């Protein structure tokens, strides 16, 4: 199987130049204009490749169909999904740099020389010596999360449409916005997607399949103090910002992301906004088990109650919102999506391995909604940082994996021909 890696590289570099950083405060989906720009480009590219049923929906989903080529009946329709937005922490709009035949020496990013990639600190980089490494220039995200997944899906679409002799079932392509702020697939109409099983391409190491994620809640703590002129505030002012600081300090540090690993859950305050009269603390809560998530909620409520009790003049209110749930709860009931993906990874010549994510994917929401959707590798590394990078060869391997995956599902279908 010969993937056109130069076409793949050209597309990827084109995609990452779009600044598609999502905005949690926008109040709309897609939450940023750059996402619309990239979605329109992808719509046009899929049409140019000859995909069918191509559309960009009002909600910001690009949908398309790769028609079935199989003569077998009962082959399920697969969905391949990737998100176009990038994380909120850093700007997008990368200036991609291609380090051809990487020689193992430190990669110093030119726009910020303090940003350095080395094989001593990044084991996966050592594994990629001799390959073509793509980075940003040092002041932005690269955007491989998840434009590496987008590029691999487009490349696999291009390959299958050019090789109708390869038997496979119907495949639906979906590119979506706002995964990084948890809104990506909330409004996707599963009837419109019209698939039986799904796969997101939003994971890292070559050969990786993710079939377990955190369960996730968001918490919003609203604190109302008492306003007063600071010159005459004695025994009058209740400073909401100080209470917000007291609340975050009351959360157990042992349950923070900085102090947890493996299967341990955490509470992560990720934003404080306000003034002396009103303040809002936003947090995310993560645990692999629902019982652990309930315990984290209790700790948040306990800290809020302690602040309220210490300052009777204040009002402290806590609200929780479900974000996603561990996909393992549903994937355990039907092993086919995982088993077939492991076989497809093996057919690329890689050693497949299962992994649990200390995070979530769009597949977490889709799986809970009834579309079983494990997560597959696309080669991205050091995500959410200026040092983000990807190997072109790993994106090519992810493309091959998708093509093999389509064939595995076709081979496992009933032997009876289409009437």
What are the tens digits of pLDDT across the range 339-352? 999 999 999 999 99
Q: How confident is the model at residue 415 (pLDDT cuts 50, 70, 90)?
A: low
Residue 133 φ then ψ, to 5°: -100, 135
For residue 418, tell me if it sits in a domain. no
161 with 251, same domain: the answer is no
For residue 417, tell me if it sits in a domain. no
Tokens of 253: 């540090």
Question: Which residue reads 């918490």 in tokens?
Answer: 219
Domain count, the chain: 2
Given 274, 292, 323, the domain boundary residue is 323
136 by DSSP, 3-state: which? coil
Euclidean distance between CA atoms 191 and 14, whole angstroms: 31
Euclidean distance between CA atoms 141 and 135, whole angstroms: 9
118 with 200, same domain: the answer is yes
111 with 234, same domain: the answer is no
Residue 268 has pLDDT above 60, yes or no: yes
For residue 330, tell me if it sits in a domain. yes
193 with 234, same domain: the answer is no
Structural domain boundaries, residue 319: 216-323
pLDDT of amino acid 143? 97
10 with 90, same domain: the answer is yes
CATH number at residue 381: 3.40.630.10
pLDDT of amino acid 419? 46
Q: Encode pLDDT of 45-90 as tens digits.
A: 999 999 999 999 999 999 999 999 999 989 999 999 999 999 998 9
Q: Which residue has the higher pLDDT, 105 or 360?
A: 105
Going by C-alpha positions, the residue among 283, 217, 229, 290 that lies closest to residue 256 is 283
- Mean residue pLDDT across the chain: 95
Given 265, 297, 323, the domain boundary residue is 323
Residue 257 has pLDDT above 80, yes or no: yes
Cβ pair 179, 146 in contact under 8 A: yes
49 with 100, same domain: the answer is yes
pLDDT of amino acid 289? 95
- Which residues are identified as catalytic? 85, 179
Given 323, 356, 382, the domain boundary residue is 323
Residue 138 φ then ψ, to 5°: 125, -15
278 with 172, same domain: the answer is no
CATH number at residue 254: 3.30.70.360
Q: Give the mean pLDDT of 280-298.
A: 97
40 with 186, same domain: the answer is yes
68 with 81, same domain: the answer is yes
51 with 130, same domain: the answer is yes
Write down the pTM of the prediction: 0.89
């Amino acid at each position: 199987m010969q993937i056109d890696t130069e076409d793949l590289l050209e597309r990827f570099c084109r995609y990452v130049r779009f600044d598609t950083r999502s905005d949690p405060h926008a109040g709309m989906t897609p939450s940023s204009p750059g996402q619309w720009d990239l979605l329109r480009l992808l719509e046009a590219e899929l049409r140019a490749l000859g995909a069918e049923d191509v559309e960009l929906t009002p909600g910001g989903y690009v949908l398309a169909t790769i028609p079935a080529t199989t003569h077998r009946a009962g082959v399920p329709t697969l969905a391949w999904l990737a998100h176009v937005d990038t994380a909120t922490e850093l700007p997008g709009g990368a200036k991609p740099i291609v380090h051809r035949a990487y020689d193992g020496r430190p990669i110093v990013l030119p726009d910020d020389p303090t940003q350095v990639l080395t094989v001593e600190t990044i084991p996966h980089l050592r594994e990629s010596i001799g390959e073509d490494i793509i980075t940003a220039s040092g002041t932005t995200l690269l955007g491989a999360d998840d434009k590496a997944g987008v590029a691999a899906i487009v490349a696999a679409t291009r390959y299958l449409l050019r090789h109708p002799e390869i038997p496979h079932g119907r495949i639906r392509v979906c590119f979506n916005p706002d995964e990084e702020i948890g809104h990506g697939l909330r409004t996707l109409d599963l009837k419109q997607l019209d698939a039986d099983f799904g796969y997101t391409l939003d994971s890292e190491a070559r050969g990786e399949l993710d079939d377990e994620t955190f369960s996730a809640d968001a918490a919003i703590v609203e604190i109302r103090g008492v306003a007063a002129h600071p010159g005459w505030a004695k025994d009058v002012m209740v400073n909401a910002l100080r209470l917000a600081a007291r609340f975050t300090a009351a959360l157990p540090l042992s349950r923070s992301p900085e102090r947890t690993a493996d299967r341990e859950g955490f509470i992560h305050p990720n934003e404080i906004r306000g003034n002396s009269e009103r303040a809002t603390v936003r947090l995310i809560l993560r645990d692999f088990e629902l019982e652990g998530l309930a315990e984290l909620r209790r700790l948040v409520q306990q800290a809020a109650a302690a602040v309220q009790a210490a300052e009777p003049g204040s009002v402290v209110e806590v609200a929780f919102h479900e974000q996603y749930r561990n996909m393992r709860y549903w994937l355990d009931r039907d092993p086919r999506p995982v088993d077939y993906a492991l076989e497809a990874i093996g057919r690329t010549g890689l050693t497949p391995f299962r992994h649990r994510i200390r995070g979530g994917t769009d597949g977490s929401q889709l799986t809970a909604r009834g579309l079983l959707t494990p997560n597959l590798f696309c080669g991205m590394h050091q995500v959410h940082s200026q040092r983000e990078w990807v190997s072109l060869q790993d994106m090519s391997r992810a493309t091959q994996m998708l093509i093999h995956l389509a064939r595995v599902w076709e081979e496992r279908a009933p032997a009876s021909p289409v009437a």
